[in-house]
Amino acid sequence: MSLIARHADSLQAPSPAALGGTVADGASEWQNSGVKPGRLRAKRWRGILWGLVYPYRGNRLLLTVPGCVVIAVAIAIGAAAYNTSNNILFIALSLLLACLIFSGILSWCNLRLLAWRLAVLAPVRAGQEHPAAIELRNNKSLLPSYGVWFEVVTQAEKKPVRLPLRVRLDPQSVTTLDWTLPPAQRGQLVVEIRSAASLFPFGFLKKIIGSQLRRELLVWPAPVAYQRFAATAWSQPGQAERSRRAGLSGDLLALRGYVQGDPQRQVHWKASARLGRLMVRQHAAETQAGYTVWVRTAQADWPRPEQFELMCSLAATLAEDFFRAGRLVAVAIDDEQPLPVRRRHDLDRFLDRLALLSPSAATHSSHGTMPASRRTNLLRLTPDGARGVAAYLDETKAATA
């Protein structure tokens, strides 16, 4: 299924007058291939002809090999026609020159009033193919577009990726050119549309329009398989976290209407008097013991770059596993204050930090400045031999990768 089919709301392309406005999350702004419609009407034919003779910056018209052959044949026919004064040769020369001029005009019309934008949905994980797309809209009123392709450049691939338009793009219609991003490692990934081009209609001329659309993406660490040790290491007594479901603990979760059978001691009398109906306190339930994931980046601890990368992947994997299980209390990096994790946004912030993490020159003690309240059920990541990474739960080895 295409990227736009999964996000139908982002497919509603704006009108030509709004092509520079704000777009949905995951997509860049629209870029128009040429002069805006209102400006084109104001210039009329003089502006059109001037645009053909002296195109704007980034707009190129190049000869192809068939085009060079046609020009060479035209020169030969022209020389023969001049020497022989043969009208048939002059007619043939006129036809060849007309084909070249007509090819240039149609290639200009083919790309005129096309608009495109780059859509890449976050998050992006290292080592996993990620869907991306170019959303293409034909803003012309009468003419369709054919045979357009885009060159996309990424840091993950050495050569530009060519994305061709294989179908006819009717006027006032939208389509997508899908491909996949293969980020090999975590960090910052730049995706850029270098140019849009077309050989339509005869292939004598190549019409190229430069593009400056680019997106900078954060690539999260790749998930990694790890091995857990004895279950006793994961069941140590520690701080209990409150879940967002109803229970009988002391933490107030919300107020709800009274239901027959609710104990009277749970009735919130002040709220009941204010609302004119009985309201009952709803408390949060206690879950299992929660954990704090602590990442240390001392360069002395991680002399090998591949081992540091493995540590980042293990930290991201453990944090996501604990979050899905409802047992992730907080995350911390070096001597920073622990960041409480209460919702998915908090976890995403931690993964964004891991994407840009690098070894630091500072040294850290075994517990650093971690608050004493967070040292229980503290999950520390340390080197395990020359290549591995171990996770210690308090002082017990709990997992390795």
Alpha-carbon Rg of the chain, whole angstroms? 32
3-class DSSP state for residue 246?
Answer: strand
pLDDT at residue number 367: 46
DSSP states along 113-181:
TEEEEEEEPSPEETTS-EEEEEEEEE--SS--B-SEEEEEEETT-SSPEEEE--S-B-TTEEEEEEEEE
Can you spell out the DSSP letters for 346-399?
HHHHHHHHHHT---BS----SSTT--GGG-TTEEEEEEETTTEEEEEETTEEEE
DSSP H or E stretch at residue 244: strand 240-257
Is 288 in a helix, a strand, or coil? strand
What's the confidence (pLDDT) of residue 350? 92
pLDDT beneath 50, residues of the chain: 1-25, 35-42, 236-250, 285-287, 365-368, 372-373
pTM: 0.68
Q: What is the pLDDT of residue 386?
A: 81
Residue 59: per-residue pLDDT: 76
Whole-number pLDDT of residue 31: 79
Determine whether domain 3-220 maps to CATH 3.40.190.10. no
| Residue 301: DSSP 8-state | T
User: Residue 268 has what pLDDT?
Assistant: 85
Q: What pLDDT is recorded for position 39?
A: 45
